[in-house]
Every structure is written in structure tokens, then in C-alpha cells.
Structure 1
Amino acid sequence: MPVLAEQLATLRAQLAGQVDEHRRLLHRLDPEQAKLGYAALVAAAFVVAVERRFRQGKHAANDAQVIDFVASVREKDDDSAEIVNPKVAESMILTLLGRGSVDTIGENTMFEHQIMLLAALIGQAQFDESELDAFMAEAASLANQILE
């Protein structure tokens, strides 16, 4: 099953900072479809965002750059500091860069961290509307590959 338009709209609203619209759309998602499609979309978007932020060609960011990014996310507000576990967040990013492991991280914890880190990555990228659309298209394409 491919990623649905409703799932794309929901994540796009969140990443665009449209809090009320995101909440409205999130509550309308079918819970069973969201477990697969929306979760795959969030995971794919996280991968794309990490690759864009931390990899330049064959060169990947070093551990200190990842640690600094996670620290900046946690410093953003009290909720971020409470939700984002630095070891988990760093492991998730480093795994995508080929230097970590997420074997001991639970599914729910992984999803929560993906959402928080993804929002921070997109916020720092400061996409305009067309850049966000291109990002969402790339994430949807990857998510659809995951779901095949």
C-alpha cells in the first residue's frame, strides 16, 4: 500500500509549522493505516533529512557534529529536553551514517525521536514552500519503496 495523500498532508502540515492543521489531520488518520503508511513516511522523511544534513557526497558528519545537533534540539525547550534522549537520538543519526546501532531502541521510542528530530532538521533547513514540496516528494518515494 502506498503512502496516502492524507498521510502526506499530515506530515507536511507539521513540518510547515501548521500546528492546528497538523493536529486536525492527525486525528483524521485511520489508526491502522497510520501504523504502516504514516510511520513509513516519518521514517523515510527522517532518513532523507539526516542524509541532507549530515552527509555531503561520500563524506559524513563526525560524531561531534551529531552530538552538537542533538544538544541544540534538546536546548530548544523543556519538552524537547525531556523527550529527546541524547543517546537514542545520536544512535539513530549515527546508524544512518554507518556508525551506530538502534537494536536496543523500541519502536515507539524510535518513532517519537524521529518526529522530534525531523522537525528540528526541517526547521534548521528553513525550506520555502517549493523546497518543502520537493522534500516531501523524496520522502514519499522512499516510503513507498519501504512499503513495497
Structure 2
Amino acid sequence: MTAELILRWLHVGGAAVLLGTGAGIAFFMVMAHRTKDARLIAHVSGTVVLADWVFTASAVVLQPVTGYFLARAVGWPLSEGWIVWSLVLYVMVGAFWLPVVWMQHRMRALAKAAVAAGEALPTAYFRLFRIWFACGFPAFAGVLAILWLMIARPVL
């Protein structure tokens, strides 16, 4: 097995983790939110926060590293148009993801506090959820666009 093949495998695997974890997190958060059950939301958002740190954060760190070494191994200049646009989109996705991580922590805390007080979810939770939900669309579209660029490698 060559270094290039290992790098390709790691890079594609990281992309799959980013896409899959993002889709899974979104699905489970939305399904929990729909119940409006603070106890369930507190539990699911706790799992989501953990998954984001274990899977998403590790893939976020590994993607540029494997991408850099893969480009060097294959001979693609980093100034290649599709690579530049992938990096621009990667930064954009990160600009949405970082606040989303904070929102998930905050929504979890608000849900736990509601459970502890025996109260309904506060207005702040619902406001954060709407923002969290809205941030998911450009972030997910960005990841899909990056995947397309990686596969098609168009001349830009």
C-alpha cells in the first residue's frame, strides 16, 4: 500500500465523517427538538455535543493535514483553483460550525436547567435552535460543494 493511497483513504474517510456526523447530529437534534421535551433534548444535545467533539473536531483537524500531504504526494499545487475554492469553503463551513458548537452547549445547558427546575424550555432555547438550524444549511451546502470539488477537480 502506497503513502498516496493511505492519504486518499484518510482524506475521503475524514470527509465521510464530516458529512455523516453533520447529517446525523442535525437529524437527532431536530427530532429531539420536535418533542419539546426538555429531558429528551438535554440528553440528545449532550450526545450531540460529545459526537461533535469526538468525530467532527477530529475530522476538522485531520482534513487539512491529509489534504496538504495528499496534494504534495500527487503533485497538485495548492494554488489549483478547485483546491483554493475547497479551502475557502472549508473556512466558511468552519465559520458556521464554531458558533453552532457553542449553541449546542448552550441549548444543552438550557434544557438541563429546565429539567432541574421542572419548567418548560425557555424562550432563549427556541431562539438558539432557530439560529442553529439556519446555520446548518450553508454549512452543509459548503461540505457538499467541497466534496464535489474533491471528486470533480474542475479547472477553475
Shorter-chain TM-score bucket reads under 0.3
TM-score by length of 1: 0.27
| Structure richer in helix, relative to its length | 2
Give 1 or 2 for the bigger CA radius of gyration: 2
TM-score (norm 2): 0.26
Task: Using CA pairs under 8 Å that are at least 6 residues apart, name the structure with larger relative contact order, 1 or 2.
Answer: 1
